[in-house]
Amino acid sequence: DVPANSLATEHVDTPAKEGYIPFLKTKKSESTLSIIVVGASGDLARNKIFPSLFALFYEDRLPESFTIFGYARSIMTNEELRNRISRTLTCRIGKRENCNKKMEHFLKRCFYHSGQYSSEEHFLELDNKLKEKETGRLSNRLFYLAIPPNMFMDVVRCAKRRASSQNGWTRVIVEKPFGRDAESSKELTRNIQQYLTEDQIFRIDHHLGEELVENLLVLRFSNLVFEPLWSRSYIRNVQLIFSEDFGIEGRGSYFDNHGIIRDIMQNHLLQILALFAMETPVSLDAEDIRNEKVKVLRSMTTVKLQDVVVGQYNGYCEGDASYPGYTDDPTVSDDSLTPTFAAATLFINNARWDGVPFMMIAGKALHSKRAEIRVQFRHVPGNLYNRKFGTDLDKTTNELVIRVQPDEAIYLKINHKVPGLGMRMDCSDLNLLYKARYPTEIPDAYERLVLDAIEGERRLFMRSDELDAAWNVFTPLLKELEKKKIVPELYTYGSRGPVGVHYLAAKHNVRWG
């Protein structure tokens, strides 16, 4: 076997598009790229991966010579795959011409091969089909595993043995979940590493591809005004919030086995926390950033049960509308204790953050859909205005909000005087609303991440030691919740979550709600 990644990517000077920082690229004319979407018959492939690939093609971000192969067990012709995915491709970039022509060109490059996930023979057939399309000196292959996790290992083995590139790179994008706890995650990593080197594995957490998450580092490290305040000296607490306004809606077979802590907190919110709290990296290189993230994750104390509230939504009817509770879902057992809501306070034991509560809140079937980071600053010491006008100290502290979705925005709550002859104070937002400032469409997170994987840019993908450190923060809590069979507090579908979260917030002096 020729090592799949035997030929490294090369630096080339591609003319930079406006606002685009070129990363590592292979020379276009000499290489072909095959993208193999494994699990092409599934929801993720149809709703996210193919539309993102089309958007990249539309934006001329794919190499000139590329082919896309869908692979799954379902029997489908090339035409059937094209029909299926064409329904979800959109001209998201706006009112440009020729989108339909572009779609036609794109669809002509999409093919399908039906096969079993554990059949080396079927992957060999795929390999032959790929070779027919690969014309360049270098044939690079990107496998996207959009399949349930119990199939990962079979596919990795078959792809490595029968369908990896013989003269270019082979990379594999793996979707979460990466295990259920520290041990199973380590085992998955060990198993995958039998076939792939760490730099061939791209563990995707699509929330890291969100525009505002990327922007977090720019905000911190390119503005003099924020970084000096970014510590326990000025920050009172940080909230990381992820709420959805819908329930599991038939996806219980996956969710009930994982729950909100594994689904959202241990990965998405913890990753954002690490980017928020890490020290300044030596450079913007992936390894420098990931080194800092690992350090901060390793400085965290494990989450304690007394610093956690878990909840589960129950349903209600209003007129003709009915909102089913979690255990009403046919895919969930009646006695399930799986949390659909959790609030947890985490601490980082280092000089910068000692004693600052980081409160994570994540839930389904809540009153709003939002993902945001809220930074509450300390009181102004000896505040003249609070003393003179008796204003509520707690209500006049500054707050920085980074709204990841919807309506991406960064705003800072500041105090100011209300115009007029009297002296009245008010609090308003200095607001950078992305929609208003940048009318162009913001790329979908998957677009950025797939492009990064093609270009070998790893900074938004999780390294195995990061994953270990992240699991170590939550694994003892997850085990305790399961061992003690902690009953989640009920909250009503569409509400703000369980009452217990207010007590937890008060305990850690967090202004909430």
Give the active site residue among 268, 367, 416, 508. Answer: 268
What does the binding site for ligand NDP look like in residue numbers (CB under 6 A)?
A: 39, 41-45, 72-74, 146-149, 151, 175-176, 254
The CA distance from 204 to 452, in Å, is 11
- Which DSSP letter does residue 120 get? H
* Cβ–Cβ under 8 Å, residues 146 and 38: yes
- Taking the complex as a whole, how short is the minimal distance between the CB of residue 207 and ligand NDP, in angstroms? 10
Residue whose tokens read 């901060």: 296
Going by their DSSP bridges, the two strands 235-243 and 358-363 should be labelled as: parallel
- Taking the complex as a whole, how short is the minimal distance between the CB of residue 73 and ligand NDP, in angstroms? 3
Q: In a 10 Å sphere around its CB, with 0-12 CB exposed, 13-18 middle and 19+ buried, how is residue 155 labelled?
A: buried
Shorter beta-carbon distance to ligand NDP: residue 41 or 165: 41
Shorter beta-carbon distance to ligand NDP: residue 449 or 473: 449
Shorter beta-carbon distance to ligand NDP: residue 78 or 350: 78
- Taking the complex as a whole, how short is the minimal distance between the CB of residue 152 and ligand NDP, in angstroms? 8
Contacts (Cβ under 8 Å, ≥6 apart) of 446: 48, 49, 51, 52, 206, 209
The CA distance from 168 to 281, in Å, is 31
Token pair belonging to 333: 């057992």
- Taking the complex as a whole, how short is the minimal distance between the CB of residue 445 and ligand NDP, in angstroms? 10
258 is known as an active-site residue? no
Shorter beta-carbon distance to ligand NDP: residue 117 or 230: 117
The CA distance from 55 to 32, in Å, is 19
Ordered DSSP codes for 58-76:
HTT-S-SSEEEEEEESS--
The CA distance from 381 to 492, in Å, is 41
* Cβ–Cβ under 8 Å, residues 12 and 25: yes
- Taking the complex as a whole, how short is the minimal distance between the CB of residue 150 and ligand NDP, in angstroms? 7
* Residue closest to 200 by CA, chosen among 464, 492, 501: 464
- Taking the complex as a whole, how short is the minimal distance between the CB of residue 212 and ligand NDP, in angstroms? 19
- On the question of a cis peptide bond just before residue 406, with omega within 30 degrees of 0, the verdict is yes
- On the question of a cis peptide bond just before residue 177, with omega within 30 degrees of 0, the verdict is yes
Shorter beta-carbon distance to ligand NDP: residue 102 or 206: 206
Shorter beta-carbon distance to ligand NDP: residue 41 or 243: 41
Catalytic residues: 268
